[in-house]
Structure 1
Amino acid sequence: MDALTDLLDGPRARGAFLLRSVLAPPWAIRIADRAPLTLLYPVDGDAWVVPDREPPVRIGPGDIAVVRGPEPYTVAGDPATPPQIVIRPGQVSQTPDGDELCEEMDLGVRTWGDTAEDTPGAGVLISGTYQMDGEVSRRLLAALPQVLVLPADAWHSPLPELLFAEVVRDEPGQEVVLDRLLDLLLIAVLRAWFARPEAGAPGWYAAQGDPVVGPALRLLHERPAHGWTVAALAAETGVSRAALGRRFTELVGEPPMAYLTSWRLALAADLLREPDATIAAVARKVGYGSPFALSAAFKRVRGVSPQEHRRTRGTGSAAAVS
């Protein structure tokens, strides 16, 4: 398993919010739902993603945009159009004055808007919103710009059209089908994006192709609970300890053991979201000899204890120590 696989394994949609929006021009929607990640797929008409602190980004039919939250932003047919609709947490739609719009704009199964789809100039947009809040996913989100756009001519995949066809179906198990399609689409888009020169991929991504650092990264991700030292890692990869340490730090941006610590704690933070997992069990899974060792490392690096982290993530009562 490589670093990208581990990070892409994090997004697991569970009841993701998928919607086909049909909007008459001029239209603009303020997105203030605090969701961590949203995919946007214009089917008809251009759309603009307008972050608060960055220039507007155009997306045309067939392009895919990935927008990283939780900062608010606006999606509009024209970046100069003021928002007429605000999407708040829980996917509640309102006017800027706070009047409810959910029922008024309901057009059928996962379809929402203010006009018919065949209205001249209407914008048709598919959106898929994750509600995830896992720490492994946060490592992935940290590697992304607030808005990335994968142009339609930069890749070829049947997934966008398949999602477009499935989003309006009302069949048994349809939510699970849509969750998995959204996951597949996100993974395909990010894989294609990271391979592009303009992506500015993080150091660990470029390092995966290095003959020295790549194998070391794979070992750390395949066996995070192993009692790794730089010497043991160097022996496994067939280079000297000094050569591995120097090359790893140069490409990844931090020494091997610092990278391993951050990866173990990211895994631990994600595992702690499970209400039945004890700190002792989590410690064993990520390579710490005792719950106290994990707690000390967690508090030192993240500034809070595992119990405090669990409480702030809304996962129920603090984990037991044994």
Structure 2
Amino acid sequence: MDILTEALSSMRTGQPASVRTEGRAPWGLRLPPVVGAGFHVVLYGTCWLVPLEEGNAPIALSPGDVVFLRDGRGHILADQPGTPAVYDRASQFRPSLPIGTLSIGGEGPRTSLLCGNYHLDQARPHPLVRQLPAIVHLQTRHGRHPELSAAVQLLGAELENPRIGSTGIVPALIDSLLLYILRAWFEEQPPATAAGWAAALGDSAVAPALTAIHQAPSTAWTVESLAARAGLSRAAFARRFTSLVGEPPMAYLTRWRMTTAARLLRESEAPLTTVAAKTGYGSEYAFAKAFKREFGLAPGGYRRESRAA
């Protein structure tokens, strides 16, 4: 069971949206907040990312750099931190291109970026994503993160010279980029200082318990049965799990059951009795009561609302 993939899939509500951005100095682009998570890939040239929150320093970006904004917060991209910024109102989407295009600035040195956002449900973010830094900055030069670097290079090649198949290849690469980004970030955390989910995914006791919950949310798990899989006493396991995951084992089990149920309601036509059985509830009534407590909507209403969105 790939917990990272499962956690992200549980939050995905649509395909990523992307814009190829070409800036020539002097240029500045103010990007408003987006629903989900934002990302930038520097394909050519250099620029700065300027957070809008006070106390956050501008971040210098170079070719191959990747930035992931966990909650899609607003920010500025510019050739220099002090360059005046305009709002992104000029993105152009053409059926012949796999992504939109935007050109901005003057006649100076060129910077080429891929900018966009992943549609992630921020109303109920998975704690794995919630524990990430607000801004993840990864560098792929000098042999760092070779798989992420390869994905960036492939994207750059397809965007620089679109050919037959590019319309299908580019969205697939952008979709995969999210997993590469998060994998690289988790792998960057030194084992001695890793905490939270960065440590939980590699922990010899907590990781097997998480895998068991994700593989079989319908199983009548207890703290004792999960502790047995972890090879720890009930109390020691509960403390370790809560410390790393951020909530007790049974709370996380309920969270994952409800997350699984919501996904089944959004993406399938399974009757409520089937959804209840797949998420560990003995009756449709017990499931509907638990679901409404978590989401504020009955399962049928949630399904209708999610389909209408």
Q: Which moved more, 1:279-288 or 1:225-234?
A: 279-288
Equivalent in the alignment of 2:31: 31
CA offsets per residue over residues 184-232 of structure 1, 9 Å max, x none?
A: 2221121111122389866233123332222212111111111111222
AA at the equivalent of 2:188:
R
Contact 2:260-2:279 within 8 A present in 1 as well: yes
Contact 1:67-1:146 within 8 A present in 2 as well: yes
Query: What secondary structure does 2:73 align onto?
Result: coil
Equivalent in the alignment of 2:181: 189
TM-score (norm 2): 0.81
Tell me by how many angstroms 1:166 deviates: 1.6
Tell me by how many angstroms 1:102 deviates: 4.3
Distance 1:171 1:270, change over 3 A: farther
Distance 1:175 1:133 in 2: 26
Structure 1 residue 147 corresponds to structure 2 residue 135: yes
Equivalent in the alignment of 1:209: 202
Contact 1:36-1:131 within 8 A present in 2 as well: yes
Distance 1:166 1:49 in 2: 24
Contact 2:38-2:69 within 8 A present in 1 as well: yes
Query: What secondary structure does 1:71 align onto?
Result: coil
Distance 2:236 2:123 in 1: 31
Structure 1 residue 284 corresponds to structure 2 residue 268: no
Equivalent in the alignment of 1:44: 44
Q: Which moved more, 1:234-243 or 1:54-63?
A: 234-243
Distance 2:161 2:274 in 1: 41
CA offsets per residue over residues 151-189 of structure 1, 9 Å max, x none?
A: 234322311010112235655654432222112222112
Contact 2:10-2:260 within 8 A present in 1 as well: no
Structure 1 residue 121 corresponds to structure 2 residue 113: no
Equivalent in the alignment of 2:20: 20
Distance 1:249 1:138 in 2: 15
Query: What secondary structure does 1:74 align onto?
Result: strand
Distance 1:231 1:198, change over 3 A: closer
Distance 1:138 1:221, change over 3 A: closer
Distance 1:13 1:262 in 2: 18
Alignment of structure 1 residues 74-153 onto 2, 5 Å:
74-84=76-86, 86-87=87-88, 93=89, 101-102=90-91, 109=97, 110=99, 111-114=101-104, 120-133=108-121, 138-153=126-141
Contact 1:22-1:124 within 8 A present in 2 as well: yes
| Counterpart selection for 2:156 from 153, 164, 177 | 164
Tell me by how many angstroms 1:69 deviates: 3.4
Distance 2:134 2:178 in 1: 15
Distance 1:44 1:235, change over 3 A: closer
Question: What is the percentage of aligned positions where both structures have the same residue?
Answer: 37
Equivalent in the alignment of 1:241: 234
Tell me by how many angstroms 1:260 deviates: 0.8
Distance 1:198 1:47 in 2: 28
Name the count of aligned residue pairs.
299
AA at the equivalent of 1:160:
V
Query: What secondary structure does 2:266 align onto?
Result: coil
Contact 2:28-2:105 within 8 A present in 1 as well: no
CA offsets per residue over residues 208-265 of structure 1, 9 Å max, x none?
A: 3332222212111111111111222233344333332233233333221111111212
Contact 1:28-1:81 within 8 A present in 2 as well: yes
Distance 2:131 2:283 in 1: 31
Distance 1:14 1:198, change over 3 A: same
Contact 1:136-1:270 within 8 A present in 2 as well: no
Q: Which runs of 5+ in 1 are unaligned?
A: 88-92, 94-100, 318-322
Distance 1:311 1:224 in 2: 24
